[in-house]
């Protein structure tokens, strides 16, 4: 083969090789050189739960029910704006799978759609307000607001009862005993809620000091007047507020210089206060404090009176009233004005005697009859209350 023929052959081989390579590139599978996937449209949001506002002028009830009937549930109503008179459908939609914004736009070209951010109960309440309702509610499908055992929605439901409905952790557990396994979390939620509610409120606290002899009915008169559930009676002075559950009335019973004065002054103030407790701190909600003792005010905190007279004066200044419970259901006022109480032993209202007034003299026979009668001691009455309520 001469040089001319060799050169021609090499040229043909090079052309054929380039053609084959080009063909291979053309027929290569997509996985060898994949094209980038289209980026999702950030404006086309999707959610399983939506809030819808639709103009009644464009969509009547039949049309709304027809277009939304395929979804898991829709709850809402026709509303009328109080100032403009604008009528619109306010709806909460919940689907089994995510629904795109574009899908709702196709169903209702004119309307407003927002992914639901609040809880299910909050959304339903917003869409069923009686103040703006026109006609009957619209209900499609069914939403289950009951607790589902064994799922995370247990805690969600209990949390809504505390944070939205205002229940206490104890009330939630009383209504559904299964909630006891979340007791710690529920108490934490209650504390968070109470901090928000009571952490910015000054409480006008009344402080009433009642002293008197044994069997005069000091403590029992408080239970007779305010009932068992409304009172928190401090059970011991080592951890006094462990059992406090937000009662409006606190009773410091059998008081005998039992609380350090620096703490007492805080308790008797109305500023926001968290009460130290072993398992979970408590938020103070009480507006009445009764200090009950066999001792007169002057017999309390004797050492403090001498060493820190300014603190002692601050304590006395916090006392709304000071009274002595006398035999026969009489309350001798020494300072201020105590509340009207009912006397358990006498089964009638306590007779309030203002300073300077003297009680009527009881005959020896009537006093002896009172002593012999089968009545509760103050401590026995209160102990029965604590036993009943598990304090």
Q: What is the pLDDT of residues 213-247, one digit of tens each?
A: 998 999 999 999 998 888 999 988 888 998 998 89
Residue with tokens 């053609």: 19
For residues 264 and 181, state if they share a domain: no
For residues 194 and 254, state if they share a domain: no
- The predicted pLDDT at position 106 comes to 94
Give CA–CA dist 56/89, Å, rounded.
6
Q: Is residue 12 pLDDT above 60, yes or no?
A: no
Q: Is residue 350 part of a domain?
A: yes
For residues 247 and 188, state if they share a domain: no
Of 94, 114, 141, which marks where a domain is finished? 141
Q: Is residue 121 part of a domain?
A: yes
Nearest to 189 by CA among 172, 202, 201, 203: 172
Condensed to tens digits (0 to 9), the pLDDT of residues 187-221 reads 889 989 888 888 888 999 999 999 999 989 999 99
State the chain's mean pLDDT as an integer: 82
Give CA–CA dist 231/219, Å, rounded.
11
Give CA–CA dist 387/391, Å, rounded.
6
Nearest to 186 by CA among 214, 206, 167, 207: 167
Condensed to tens digits (0 to 9), the pLDDT of residues 333-367 reads 999 999 999 887 777 899 999 987 776 654 334 44
For residues 186 and 281, state if they share a domain: no
pTM to 2 decimals?
A: 0.55
Q: Is residue 36 part of a domain?
A: no
Q: Which helix (H) or strand (E) holds 14?
A: helix 3-27
Q: What is the CATH classification number for the domain harbouring 114?
A: 3.40.1310.20
For residues 132 and 193, state if they share a domain: no
The residues, any chain, with a CB within 8 Å of residue 164's CB and separated by 6 or more, are 119, 121, 122
For residues 194 and 210, state if they share a domain: no
Confidence of residue 41 (pLDDT cuts 50, 70, 90): low
Confidence of residue 377 (pLDDT cuts 50, 70, 90): very low
Q: Is residue 288 part of a domain?
A: yes
- The predicted pLDDT at position 295 comes to 96
For residues 248 and 357, state if they share a domain: yes
- The predicted pLDDT at position 40 comes to 52
- The predicted pLDDT at position 376 comes to 43
Residue with tokens 């589902």: 148
For residues 187 and 110, state if they share a domain: no
Contact of 185 with 155, CB cutoff 8 Å = yes
Structural domain that includes position 136 = 46-141
Give 307 or 122, the one with higher predicted confidence.
307
- The predicted pLDDT at position 159 comes to 87
Give 23 or 48, the one with higher predicted confidence.
48
Confidence of residue 29 (pLDDT cuts 50, 70, 90): very low
Average pLDDT (253-272) is: 93
Q: What is the number of domains present in the chain?
A: 3
Q: Is residue 79 part of a domain?
A: yes
Average pLDDT (291-303) is: 96
Give CA–CA dist 224/251, Å, rounded.
13
Q: What is the CATH classification number for the domain harbouring 290?
A: 3.40.50
- The predicted pLDDT at position 13 comes to 55
Is 218 in a helix, a strand, or coil?
Answer: helix
Confidence of residue 311 (pLDDT cuts 50, 70, 90): very high
- The predicted pLDDT at position 317 comes to 96
Give CA–CA dist 264/308, Å, rounded.
14
Whole-angstrom CA distances from 129 to 77, 143, 155, 196 are 9, 18, 26, 25
Q: Which helix (H) or strand (E) holds 215?
A: none
Averaging pLDDT over each range in 272-276, 296-300, 369-373, which range is the top one? 296-300
For residues 282 and 335, state if they share a domain: yes
Q: Is residue 158 part of a domain?
A: yes
Is 125 in a helix, a strand, or coil?
Answer: helix
For residues 245 and 375, state if they share a domain: yes
For residues 158 and 283, state if they share a domain: no
Q: Is residue 57 pLDDT above 90, yes or no?
A: yes
Q: Is residue 28 part of a domain?
A: no
- The predicted pLDDT at position 156 comes to 82
Condensed to tens digits (0 to 9), the pLDDT of residues 138-175 reads 999 987 665 455 555 678 888 888 887 778 888 899 88
For residues 133 and 186, state if they share a domain: no
Q: Is residue 268 part of a domain?
A: yes
């Amino acid at each position: 083969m001469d040089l001319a023929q060799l050169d021609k052959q090499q040229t043909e081989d090079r052309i054929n090789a380039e053609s084959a390579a080009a063909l291979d590139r053309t027929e290569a599978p997509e996985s060898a050189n994949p094209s980038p996937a289209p980026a999702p449209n950030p404006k086309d949001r999707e959610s399983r739960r939506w809030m819808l506002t639709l103009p009644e002028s464009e969509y009547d009830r039949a049309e709304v029910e027809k277009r939304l009937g395929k979804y898991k549930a829709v709850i809402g109503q026709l509303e009328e704006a109080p100032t403009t008179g604008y009528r619109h459908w306010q709806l909460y939609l919940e689907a089994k799978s995510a629904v795109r914004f574009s899908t709702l736009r196709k169903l209702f070209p004119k309307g407003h759609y927002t992914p639901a951010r609040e809880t299910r109960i909050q959304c339903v309440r917003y869409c069923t307000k009686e103040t703006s309702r026109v006609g009957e509610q619209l209900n499609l499908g069914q939403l289950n607001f009951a607790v589902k055992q064994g799922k995370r929605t247990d805690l969600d439901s209990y949390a809504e009862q505390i944070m939205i409905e205002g229940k206490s952790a104890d009330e939630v557990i009383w209504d559904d005993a299964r909630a006891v396994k979340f007791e710690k979390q529920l108490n934490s939620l209650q504390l968070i809620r109470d901090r928000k509610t009571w952490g910015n409120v000054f409480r006008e606290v009344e402080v009433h000091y009642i002293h008197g002899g044994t069997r005069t009915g000091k403590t029992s008169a408080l239970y007779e007047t305010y009932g068992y559930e409304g009172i928190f009676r401090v059970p011991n002075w080592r951890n006094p507020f462990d059992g406090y559950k937000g009662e409006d009335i606190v009773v410091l019973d059998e008081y005998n210089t039992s609380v350090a004065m620096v703490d007492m002054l805080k308790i008797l103030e109305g500023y926001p206060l968290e009460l130290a407790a072993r398992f979970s701190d408590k938020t103070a909600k009480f507006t009445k404090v009764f200090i009950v003792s066999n001792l007169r005010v002057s017999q309390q905190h004797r050492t403090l009176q001498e060493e820190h007279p300014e603190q002692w004066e601050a304590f006395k200044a916090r006392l709304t009233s000071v009274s002595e419970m006398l035999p026969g259901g009489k309350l001798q006022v020494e300072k201020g004005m105590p509340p009207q109480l009912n006397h358990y032993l006498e089964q009638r209202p306590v007779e309030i005697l203002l300073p300077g007034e003297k009680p009527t003299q009881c005959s020896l026979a009537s006093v002896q009859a009172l002593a012999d009668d089968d009545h509760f001691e103050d401590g026995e009455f209160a102990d029965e209350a604590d036993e009943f309520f598990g304090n």
